[in-house]
Structure 1
Amino acid sequence: MGEFDDLISANKTFADDFGLGGFDGVAHAGVAIVTCMDSRIDPLSMLGLKAGDAKIFRNPGGRITNAALEALVLGVHLLNVNRILVIPHTRCAMASSSQSELREKVGASAGQDASWQHFHVVSDQVAALAEDIRAVTSHPLIPDSVKVGGFIYDVDTGLLDQKF
């Protein structure tokens, strides 16, 4: 159990000043963000938002997967979302490695064959972002009234570059 003691201790400190109890769970700024799981990304702070303002969905590469679409549909219809930002980032492992390179690295780390594992690698981030924006805007349960933007986050400057 000691492997998590530092995090449990930090959680107790967090809970001492916890102010979100009883929160309704909707996106108060009407924002949903789909971005990468990369720890260099702080989705709320980079947009000047705070806890409770946005729904955040993270995955490797910040791609629009079936699970991301499910989250966005729920956000739009049940959680006050009226703006969606899709935000991959610079220097992403999903955009700088091939499928075979990732399988090889993971296999070496795992000590077993990973050639069967699929990774959502991206050879062209802008083209992939365009594809992802089309997936969101063409979804039958996401109305045209929802604004959808595609951005690339620069992990070295903290700036967003709007592409779509």
Structure 2
Amino acid sequence: MTTSDFDDLLAANRDFAAHFELAGFDGVARAGVAIVTCMDSRIDPLGMVGLAPGDAKIFRNPGGRVTDQALEALVLGVHLLNVQRILVIPHTRCAMASATLEEVRERVGASAGQDVSWQTFNMVPDQRAALADDVHKVVSHPLIPDRVKVGGFVYDVDTGLLNPVV
């Protein structure tokens, strides 16, 4: 690695640090919110619900799925970091929900120049059913108390709207 590959980002970081306002913050979710969503760069998890850095815990992965790691993060958030509401938010036009496993493997294989048939990608053939399943995973988890409110929404990447589903 050469730092020159990252000069633009390091310059932006210096500007960010010059205006940094979270020094000494204890890391709790000030608004009591946790969001599980996709890694898609069209999603601004805080902005789409009117929050700011420090207000929420964010867990992102391909497809915005409630994985074992997401559940671990949510349990910690609920018990240690002030999380009282959880939003599970996949989105429209998601590559994980609009392609097949073979299509994704083919595209990644072409880009990598090698066989990727061994690579697991967690495709989402039915986004609404997967969202209902993910919300159920959260509400039925023995370490997520009933007092925690959980909702499932689909984020529309073309309008910016959250559409309640579960």
TM norm structure 1: 0.99
Cα distance per residue 1:103-154 (max 9 Å; x no partner): 1111111111100111111111100000001111111100111000000000
**One-letter amino acid of the counterpart of residue 19, structure 1:** E
Name stretches of at least 5 consecutive residues in structure 1 with no aligned partner: none
Aligned to 1:74: 76
**Cα distance between partner residues in 1 of 2:149 and 2:19:** 35
Alignment of 1:7-22 (within 5 A): 7-22=9-24
CA shift for structure 1 position 99: 0.7
Which AA in structure 2 matches 1:21? A
Pick aligned residue for 2:85 from 83, 86, 97: 83
Partners of 2:95 and 2:54 lie apart in 1 by 29
Specify the SS of the correspondent of 2:27.
coil
Once the two structures are TM-superposed, the CA of residue 67 in structure 1 deviates from its matched residue by: 0.4
Does residue 64 in structure 1 map to residue 66 in structure 2? yes
Q: Which residue of 2 aligns with 1:161?
A: 163
Query: Which deviations, in whole Å up to 9, do the C-alpha atoms of 1:27-46 show, x marking residues without a partner?
Result: 00000000000000001010
Following superposition, the deviation at residue 8 of structure 1 comes to 0.2
Following superposition, the deviation at residue 161 of structure 1 comes to 0.2
Unaligned runs of 5+ residues in structure 2 are none
Q: Distance in 2 between matches of 1:110 and 1:129?
A: 31
Q: Secondary structure at the match of 2:37?
A: strand
1:55 aligns with 57
Number of residue equivalences? 164
Give distance in 2, aligned partners of 1:13 and 1:66: 36
Percent identity over the alignment is 74
Q: Aligned partners of 2:68 and 2:113: how far apart in 1?
A: 30
- What is the rounded CA distance, in whole Å, between the counterparts of 2:32 and 2:23 in structure 1? 20
Q: Give the letter for the 1:131 counterpart.
A: D
Please name the residue that 1:141 is paired with.
143
Q: Which amino acid aligns with 1:64?
A: V
The runs of 4+ residues in structure 1 deviating greater than 2 Å are none
- How far off is 1:13 after superposition? 0.5
Query: 2 CA distance for matches of 1:62 and 1:11?
Result: 27
Taking structure 2 as the reference length, the TM-score comes to: 0.98
Write the distance in 2 (CA, Å) between the matches of 1:139 and 1:113: 37
Distance 1:142 1:113 in 2: 41
2:50 maps to amino acid: G
One-letter code aligned to 1:134: H
Q: Give the aligned partner of residue 24 of structure 1.
A: 26
